[in-house]
Amino acid sequence: MKKLPKYLNSMKLLITATALISTLVARADHHEKHEYGNIHEFDGVWAKHDHSQTPNYGSGFYKVIADGVYRVLWLKEGVLTSMHGGGVTYDGEIMVTTPTHSTPNNGLRDQNFMFKVSTNVDSFKQSGIPGSGNFGNLKEQWKRVGKKERKGIEGVWTRIHANGNIMQKVIIDNFWQWVVIDPRTNHVVGSLGGKYSFDGENYVETTQFMLEGTLDNWQIGKQWKAKAIVKKDKLLFEIPGETEGESRGETWAKMDAQDIRKHDALKGKATLNDFKRWVALHSGTWEGKVNSTIGESNFGQNTTPYTVRFKCDAMEIPNLLSTRGIGPNGSFYSTTYYDPSEMKIVSINLGASGTVTESKVYWEKGVWMRNSTYTKPDGQKSDLHSTLRFSDNENTLTILINGEVGQTVVEKQKNIWKRIK
């Protein structure tokens, strides 16, 4: 048989690589639909080292999986030195992990990692897929720690703090860990963990590790005791007080980490990742034929459509989006930044006529929501509400604006912008 010419061999390799990438993308799309398959067979705590006795979670390398959520922990002498976690799916052959939060010293977040996995009752082998990314050559074997037995108290539980931070607790196979996640950065800013016991009423946690550099007044070995009740999707802890008859409570909601955004406390909020996505979507030059824009003093008036062009540039230091626009009514400038205290994307628009518009933006139910305060040069203020949708491979931006300007009602004014650069 004749040898293939070099260029045909190259094409053969290209076709093979393309086929591999297509397969991986298809699998990723499949998993994005949250079709977990039999992921629950991995629920539990897994280690890469042997435990001949009951494990002491003071040191070691652990993987924790519960209800489609996973965490990987690096522990040393009672200190959680590094971790990342997020969602995990499995279709019977391929496991996909998607880290969504981590300690600041961990760089694995916001990516999809794919592995081939073969499993039995007490262990599983995890192998990288060549060409799939960072861990293409990975080969690991994980062994189950503890007994596989589910109790009503086990699972993933969530609370939202008054400052917007998310507290998420995993209870599985006599292991517990809570983490506090700052949704503005998706950094883990606090954590405790260890072993627990539960007799159906009395719940006792023993601390065996804590996040490095936090909770200075908490000690390894300290116990936390409570009466625990599970009611449907709620976990209630009743904690005895220091004096007789005194107690306080904690209520946790059972919630998948991938659906955390659905929690009422996060409605109307934006994360730092949302801001980065917003910047990426807007960067470039746009042009539209509009009746008016919210940066102009003629907004809300019946005018003949005219053309406006604007250009958005991202600046990493400081972390801003700068916009410059020009139309027949003059130029306008806006600056967009992330406000971590309000958890909003904020845009300040200065029009040529002296009009000032402050907008606060967040992502909700598949659309960008924008609430704006529109102030004319004479001091008249108006509240406007807009929805922004990207289409045409993110090259078309459609904005629907509603509100009142003085005595004029603005209802569903549509501005359509096209990316031209």
> Is the pLDDT higher at 300 or at 197?
197
Secondary structure, 3-state, the chain: CCCCCHHHHHHHHHHHHHHHHHHHHHHHHHHHCCCCCCHHHHCEEEECCCCCCCCCCCCEEEEEEECCEEEEEEEECCEEEEEEEEEEEECCCEEEEEEEEECCCCCCCCCCEEEEEEECCCEEEEEECCCCCCCCCCEEEEEEECCCCCCCCCEEEEEECCCCCEEEEEEECCEEEEEEEECCCCEEEEEEEEEEEECCCEEEEEEEEEECCCCCCCCCCCEEEEEEEEECCEEEEEEECCCCCCEEEEEEEECCHHHHHHCHHHCCCCCHHHHHHHHHHHCEEEEEEECCCCCCCCCCCCCCCEEEEEEEEEECCCCEEEEEEEECCEEEEEEEEEECCCCEEEEEEEECCCCEEEEEEEEECCEEEEEEEEECCCCCEEEEEEEEEEECCCCEEEEEEEEEECCEEEEEEEEEEEECC
pLDDT in tens, 198-242: 998 999 999 999 998 888 788 999 999 999 999 888 999 998 866
Q: Which CATH class is domain 159-265?
A: mainly beta
Confidence label for 22 from pLDDT (cuts 50, 70 and 90): very low
Whole-model pTM?
Answer: 0.59
CATH of 35-145, one of 2.40.128.280, 2.60.40.420, 2.130.10.30, 1.10.10.10: 2.40.128.280
Domain range summary for the chain, segments of one domain joined by + = 35-145, 159-265, 272-419
pLDDT at 395: 94
> Is the pLDDT higher at 359 or at 317?
359
pLDDT in tens, 403-419: 877 666 677 788 899 99
pLDDT at 346: 94
Q: Given a cut of 90, is residue 345 above it in pLDDT?
A: yes
pLDDT in tens, 258-293: 555 444 345 677 877 888 889 999 999 999 988 878
> Is the pLDDT higher at 66 or at 3?
66
Q: Given a cut of 70, is residue 33 above it in pLDDT?
A: no
Q: What is the CATH number of domain 272-419?
A: 2.40.128.20
pLDDT in tens, 120-167: 878 999 998 887 667 888 899 999 987 776 678 999 999 888 777 889
pLDDT at 212: 84
> Is the pLDDT higher at 192 or at 37?
192
Query: 35-145 and 272-419: same fold?
Result: yes
Average pLDDT, the chain: 81
